[in-house]
A and B are shown apart, each in its own frame.
Chain A
Amino acid sequence: MKDIKREIALHSFYDRTGIANYLEKQASKGWLLDEMSDLVWRFKRIVPCDLRFAVTYFPGTSELEDKPAERELAFQDLCEHAGWKHAASNSQMKIFYTELDDPTPIDTDAAIEVEQIHSSMKRGLLRVNTLFIVAGVVELALFGMRMSTHPLGFLISNLSLAGVLCVIMMVIAGAADLMCYFRWLKKARTAAELDGSFVETKGPRGIWLSLTCLLLASASLLAPYVEGSTILGALAVALVVAVFAVILFQGESILRKLGVPAKTRFVTLLVAGAAFGVFTGTPIMHVIATEASNFEQTREPAEYYVHGEIVLAAYDDELPLKIEDLIETDYDDYSYQVRSVKSSAAVEQFDAIQSPRWDAIEEPYMEYTITEAKIPALTDTLKAITMESFVENYLSMPPSYEEPTEAVAIDPSAWQADAAYQIYLEGEPRMNFLLHYGNRIVNIGFPDEWILDDAQKATVGKKLSTCPIA
């Protein structure tokens, strides 16, 4: 049977009522708190007994001191004289216990106690919430960078969406705790002033509500799209975050045991907060980039063929639109390839190409990408993103650097579209089109020699505006 157990500290710093109640329950089960940090409480095994706990706050404690000051020890002496034994301390919080049935409480003046809690909170809150804010800002900055450089890759990745949600909820959780605290403080000050009573503290409902929302939202985002690589990526991210969280919150206690001076520990803690954001953000970004760019290679080529000295693949995937739907052709050696299918809670994308073999390069080809906003509010953003890449990614053969490529609005009616755009290079139209169908955007390209007629445009519109994507 183990004699030591460790638990994650789940109570708010100021929740002296909840903490005392919890420790009394633990004592009745045979566990006595003997060490505590911001993140972890350590319990040692005792004979189960009925103890009374008191949580009190000593604002005079400084993290910059290596050992308790004389004042602190004098305070503890007073408490011990009254029958209270010191169990553990964490910065300004001190926990005592007694076996007496009817002990005089350590704090008997509500007004003084409330101000002691508030003075301590100003220092404790500052530390913990600063870490949350610093880490959260760094994380959001990293996500912002990714969003600005690869907006579609960001939106199409469940991990990135869940990551942003996690960070936002982390900040909300910290803010919710603050709100709960200040609401209690106002009530407690009023009650202490009016009738000298102490308003008991309640558990951190705001935090748990936020964390529950976080878990449900992340699970709902990820669950329908779970693939092997995503699970591995998510586990890797969770492991990195957990390791850094432990190092961060246990860091002070670890450094103290190593004999690092107090001021160095304090500075290290602040720097660690920023590093926490960067070093958890970096692997998260890497996994997101990897996840967003990978296409699960479950589709094997139908066959391989040799052209000259090169081995090439030919595919036989199901495509919603084929060249045969538009023209009659005798060529029957086409490769039908689905290049990628990506899906997140926000965006879906399908990318395909039908191409002749290299020994029949004169035969027409066709390639298209269908992008759809699953959240209607994202439609305009998606249109802007796809328009930008429509112009920037057009590759003319041969490449032309004389004039920039531009997208020109054309008559969408033949395409049965809401809007249509065509690439123009050096003033000449190219057979590359961007079509809007509600919240669906289709980018389709043909050889420049193939001038589509209205019937063909209508077939393109009919097939690609409604086909399923994922």
Chain B
Amino acid sequence: MPREKFKTLTEQMFYVLLCLSAECYGMDILDKVPAMTEGRVKVGSGTLYNLLEQFLEAEMIRETKVEGRKRSYIITDKGREMLQEECERIKAQLKDYAAIYGEGGRK
């Protein structure tokens, strides 16, 4: 059964929303995400374009400025809420992990 849209966020979705906690151009997100994650997470330009469209449609972000073809966005309350839910989910996972393997990851 396919996952309900945005029920859980992929890493790319998570970090795009995180970048948009402050007003940001779409292009800048391409550089910010790898910088924020020390290169661990990268978002493709095509994927970013689609994610921004989907977040706009789901009202998780909103446009703040349009300069020619450059657009800037910022996260909405709804987006922040979903980000928070995802964060809680990850924390719960960490807790479950620590219960088995301990805080340091070694049993």
Contact = CB atoms under 8 A, between A and B. Distances in A.
Interface of A: 56, 70, 73-75, 77-79, 81-82, 84, 104-109, 112-113, 116, 189, 193, 196
Contacts of A82: 30, 44-45
B43 interface: yes
Interface stretch (B47-55, B72-80, B85-93): B47-55
Interface in B14-71: 26-27, 30, 34, 42-51, 69-71
A432 to B, nearest CB: 73
User: In the complex, which of the residues A107, A189, A193 has the most CB atoms of chain B within 10 Å of its own CB atom?
Assistant: A107
Contact of B44 (A74, A77, A108): A108
Contacts of B45: 75, 78-79, 81-82, 84, 104, 106
A389 B44 CA distance: 71
Interface of A is mostly: helix
Contact of B10 (A77, A81, A84, A196): A196
Contact of A75 (B10, B34, B46, B51): B46
Nearest to A116: B50
Contact of A113 (B26, B27, B46, B48): B46
Contact of B2 (A81, A104, A193): A193
A189 B10 CA distance: 16
9 contacts: A74-B71, A77-B27, A78-B27, A78-B48, A104-B30, A106-B46, A107-B47, A108-B12, A108-B44
Nearest to B27: A81
Interface of B: 2-3, 10, 12, 26-27, 30, 34, 42-51, 69-71
B27 A112 contact: no
Interface of B is mostly: helix
A178 B17 CA distance: 37
Given A78-B48, A81-B30, 13 more contacts: A77-B27, A78-B27, A78-B30, A79-B46, A104-B34, A104-B45, A107-B47, A108-B47, A109-B12, A109-B44, A113-B47, A116-B46, A196-B10
Give 9 closest A-B pairs by Cβ, nearest first. Answer: A108-B44, A106-B46, A78-B45, A82-B45, A104-B42, A79-B45, A74-B69, A109-B47, A81-B27
Contacts of A105: 44
B69 A107 contact: no
A56 B46 contact: yes
Nearest to A59: B50
A363 B99 CA distance: 115
Contacts of B46: 56, 75, 78-79, 106-107, 113, 116
B63 to A, nearest CB: 12
Nearest to A106: B46
A69 to B, nearest CB: 11
A108 B45 CA distance: 8
A378 B45 CA distance: 61
A113 B44 CA distance: 11
Contacts of A75: 45-46, 49
Contacts of A193: 2-3
User: In the complex, which of the residues B3, B42, B45 has the most CB atoms of chain A within 10 Å of its own CB atom?
Assistant: B45
A75 B69 CA distance: 9
A112 B71 contact: no
B48 A112 contact: no
Contacts of A77: 27, 69-70
Nearest to B2: A193
Nearest to A94: B46
Contacts of A70: 69
A196 B42 CA distance: 15
A104 B47 CA distance: 11
Contacts of A116: 46, 50
B60 to A, nearest CB: 15
A112 B51 contact: yes
A82 B2 CA distance: 31
Contacts of B43: 104, 108
A287 to B, nearest CB: 49
B19 to A, nearest CB: 14
A388 B92 CA distance: 85
A315 B100 CA distance: 104
Nearest to A104: B42
Nearest to B31: A81
B24 to A, nearest CB: 13
A108 to B, nearest CB: 4
Given A74-B71, A78-B49, A193-B2, A107 B27 contact: no
A47 B12 CA distance: 37
A193 B10 CA distance: 11
Nearest to B50: A112
B44 A107 contact: yes
B3 A104 contact: no
Given A73-B69, A78-B27, A112 B47 contact: yes
A93 to B, nearest CB: 12
A341 to B, nearest CB: 65
A107 B27 CA distance: 15
A310 to B, nearest CB: 83
Nearest to B28: A81
A108 B34 CA distance: 13
A56 B50 CA distance: 12
B46 to A, nearest CB: 4
Contacts of B3: 193
